[in-house]
Homo-oligomer: A and B are copies of this chain.
Amino acid sequence: MNTADHSALRSFAGREALLVEQAMRGDLDEALQGCDPLLAEVIDYALFGGGKRIRPLLVILAARLCGAADNNLYGLAAAFEYLHVATLIHDDVIDNAQARRGREAVGRRYGMAVAILAGDWLHARSLYLVGRFAGTEGLAVFCRSTTGMVDGEFLQLRHVADCALTEEDYFAIILRKTALLISSSCEIGAIFAGAAPEERRALADYGSKLGTAFQVIDDLLDYQGDAGNTGKQSGNDFLEGKLTLPLLRALARAEAPERAGITAFFAGDRLDRSSLDRVRQFIERHGGFDSARQTAVQLVAEADATLAPFAGQGEGASLTMLHALAGYVLARNK
C-alpha cells in the first residue's frame, strides 16, 4: 500500500469511527436509561478507550459496496464493536490481563464480577442490534461467529503448551477466534444491503482472509511489537503457553536438538521472560518472523482478489477503502 492510500484510509476511518461512536452513544442512552450507574460507567469505560473500530468499518464498507443506504447502518455497525469488546473483557478476565489498549483492563479495574457481567450486557445488546437491523438471517450468521469464537477459545485452551500443535490447528484456532467475526462483519453488511448470494459469499471470504492475516500480524506483534504502540507488554502468547505461527515455522526448520531445547520450556513450565528472549532469538535465527509475515502477505493478496467481482460496481470509494484496509493490516504496528 502506498502512503497516499494509507493516509486516505486513515482520515476516512477516523471520520467513520466518530460516526460509529455517535451511534453507540445514542444507543447506550436508550439502552442504559434508568440502569445502575456503575453498569453505565463500566460500559462507557470499556467502549470508549480507543480501539480502531475496524469491525464496524467493515460492516459499513461492505454494506455500501452492495448499495445500502446509511439509514440504520451505524446502529448495525455498533453491534460489532459491542461484541468485540465483550469478548475482550471476558478474555482479559480469563487471562488475568492487567492492561488493554494502554489502560487498565476492565476486570483489573472493576473486579471480575463486574467484568463478566458487563461482557454479558454488551453481548446481549449486540445480538439485539443485529436482529433489529439485519433480521434473523443476519442474526444466524452473527451467532455462528460468536459460538465459533467460544469454540476457538476451547481449542486454544486444549493446545496450551502443546508443542505438537500443527499449522492446521493454529489456523483452525485463529479462524474461530478472530476471522469469523471479521468475516461476519462483511457478510452481515452485505445482508443488510440485500446483496446477492455470490456477493455475500465473496465478502465473507474477503473478511475471513483479512481476519486471518490480521491475527497472524497480531501474533507477530506479540513478539516484535513495542508496548508503547500496542498498549500491552510483548511476549504474552509465549508466557501463556500459546504457540503461534512464527514459532511453529521456526520449530519446523530447526534441527531436533535445538528444537528440543525450545520445547523443553513448554514441557518444563519455564515460560518466563528469560526463556522468552531465547525463543525470540531462535525464531529470528530460523526466519520464523519473515516466514509468518510472508503468509500474511499472501492472505492479504487473496483477500484483495476476492474483491475482483466488485470492480466498477456500486460506490467506488468503498471498494478502494476495502483494498486499502487489506494493505493496512500488513502495515499496522499496533
Say yes or no: A124 contacts B147, CB within 8 Å: yes
Q: In this assembly, does A151 line the interface, its C-beta being within 8 Å of a C-beta of chain B?
A: yes
Known: A127-B143, A136-B136. A150 touches B94 (CB 8 A): no
**In the complex, which of the residues B90, B118, B127 contacts A116, with contact meaning CB atoms closer than 8 Å?**
B90
Q: Chain A, 148-187, contact with B by CB distance < 8 Å: what is the 0/1 string?
A: 0011011101100000000000000000000000000000
Q: In this assembly, does A307 line the interface, its C-beta being within 8 Å of a C-beta of chain B?
A: no
Report the stretch among A30-38, A65-73, A251-259, A271-279 that lies at the interface: A30-38
- CB-CB under 8 A from A124, the residues of chain B are 123, 127, 143, 146-147, 150
Say yes or no: B139 contacts A128, CB within 8 Å: yes
- CB-CB under 8 A from A127, the residues of chain B are 124, 127, 131, 139, 143
CA distance A87 to B121 in the complex (A): 11
Say yes or no: B31 contacts A147, CB within 8 Å: yes
- CB-CB under 8 A from A147, the residues of chain B are 31, 121, 124-125, 128
Identical copies in the complex: 2
Q: Chain A, 54-70, contact with B by CB distance < 8 Å: what is the 0/1 string?
A: 00000000000000000
Q: In this assembly, does A114 line the interface, its C-beta being within 8 Å of a C-beta of chain B?
A: yes
CB distance from A112 to the nearest CB of B (A): 7
CA distance A90 to B147 in the complex (A): 16
CA distance A93 to B157 in the complex (A): 18
Most B CB contacts (10 A, CB to CB) among A35, A124, A128 go to A124
Q: In this assembly, does A120 line the interface, its C-beta being within 8 Å of a C-beta of chain B?
A: yes
CB distance from A290 to the nearest CB of B (A): 32
Q: In this assembly, does A140 line the interface, its C-beta being within 8 Å of a C-beta of chain B?
A: yes
**In the complex, which of the residues B38, B135, B157 contacts A158, with contact meaning CB atoms closer than 8 Å?**
B38
CA distance A95 to B257 in the complex (A): 48
Say yes or no: A150 contacts B121, CB within 8 Å: yes
- CB-CB under 8 A from A90, the residues of chain B are 116-117, 120
Q: Chain A, 288-302, contact with B by CB distance < 8 Å: what is the 0/1 string?
A: 000000000000000
Known: A94-B112, A151-B35, A154-B38. A131 touches B120 (CB 8 A): no
Known: A127-B127, A127-B139, A127-B143. A151 touches B94 (CB 8 A): no
CA distance A35 to B155 in the complex (A): 8
CA distance A128 to B135 in the complex (A): 11
CA distance A113 to B94 in the complex (A): 5
Q: A93-B112, A132-B136 are in contact. List 8 more A-B contacts (CB 8 A).
A: A116-B116, A117-B153, A123-B124, A124-B150, A127-B139, A128-B139, A131-B136, A132-B140
